Amino acid sequence: MSEQLLVVHNASKHFMGLKAVDDVSLTVAKGEIVSIIGPNGAGKTTFFNLLTGQLAPTAGEVRLRGQQINSLAPHQRARLGMGRTFQIVKPLIALSALENVLIGAFMRHPRLTDARDKAMDVLQTVGMAHHARRRAGDLTLSERRRLEVARALAMEPEIMLLDEVMAGLNQSEVGQSIELLKSLHATGLTFLIIEHNLKVVRAFSERVVVLDRGRLIAQGTADQILNSPEVVKAYLGDGHKVEELGTL
């Protein structure tokens, strides 16, 4: 049996009366690519925040490689191998692309020369080496998203949590991003991915999990999920057909 890398037991997050995440359990094995889909406000980003420590859960437990990490701060979880990107990309705009990635690289490489080598290496991996000296604030959305991935990669994570890294990209940029993720996955990296574009999910996901109003309502292969009447209902409401999901 494959090793369980991330295990979430009955996680909940309530904001006053709102159950943003409601008793969600999920397991991710080493080497998997698991996608999380769900309508706006379903609780996807909040769920990520519970995993990475940006938010404390109201209830439940998160384990990484068997270790309970509930009380650890985000930087401690990063050190244990949890990398993430944010839905709203916030590079340090006055710094160069290289400097942004250096900040991540310093976590495991305290010496500047080592950190710089690592950062350049990662920029190369994501196809951004030629932009190393550009100000992050001058990069396009697509480039900023790659930079965000590079910054997380520079921390040498074992599992990467990506929050809608393809949102707002054009079709060819989406295609390039899928290729990048596939190549990173081939190096052994595990992925948990929030993704709105169901065609993208179908292109690379081994397992898809659906959140709706804080609850995990379905999980299975991309085809099983996209053909589930419950999922169609969650996305589109009553009276719609499965085929309409393909156009989202």
> Taking Cα atoms as reference points, which of 86, 89, 155, 84 lies closest to residue 119?
155
3-state secondary structure of 67: strand
3-class SS of residue 113: helix
Which parts of 183-202 interact with ligand ATP (CB under 6 A)?
none
Shortest separation between residue 40's beta carbon and ligand ATP, angstroms: 4
Query: Six-digit token pair at 34?
Result: 């698991």
User: Of ligand ATP, Mg ion, none, which one sits near residue 42, judging by CB under 5 to 8 A according to partner kind?
Assistant: ligand ATP
151 binds ligand ATP (CB under 6 A): no
User: Are residues 26 and 51 in contact, defined by beta-carbon separation less than 8 angstroms?
Assistant: no
Element (H, E) at 217: strand 215-220
CA distance 174 to 64: 30
- Asked if residue 40 binds ligand ATP (CB under 6 A), the reply is yes
As measured in angstroms, the least distance from the Cβ of 228 to Mg ion is 21
Residue 205 contacts ligand ATP per CB under 6 A: no
Q: Which is nearer to ligand ATP, 49 or 177 (CB)?
A: 49
**HSE, side-chain direction, 13 A CA sphere, residue 158:** 14
Q: Map residues 10-39 to x or -, x wherever contact with ligand ATP holds by CB under 6 A.
A: -----x--x-x-----------------x-
Of ligand ATP, Mg ion, none, which one does residue 57 interact with (CB within 5 to 8 Å by kind)?
none
Q: Which residues bind Mg ion (CB under 5 A)?
A: 44-45, 87
Cβ-count burial of 79 within 10 angstroms (0-12 exposed, 13-18 middle, 19+ buried)? middle
Return the one option of ligand ATP, Mg ion, none that residue 187 interacts with (CB less than 5 to 8 A, by type): none
**Per CB under 6 A, 104 contacts ligand ATP:** no
Check residue 50 for interaction with ligand ATP (CB under 6 A). no
In sequence order, the β-bridge partners of residue 9 are: 61
Check residue 159 for interaction with ligand ATP (CB under 6 A).
no
Does the footprint of ligand ATP cover residue 44 (CB under 6 A)? yes
Determine if 46 is a binding residue for ligand ATP (CB under 6 A): yes
The CA distances from residue 50 to 8, 10, 56, 164, in Å, are 10, 12, 6, 17
Q: Is 174 in the site for ligand ATP (CB under 6 A)?
A: no
| 232 Cβ neighbours under 8 A, 6+ residues apart | 240, 241, 242, 244, 245
Minimum CB–partner distance for residue 164 and ligand ATP (Å): 7
Residues that bind ligand ATP (CB under 6 A): 15, 18, 20, 38, 40-46, 87
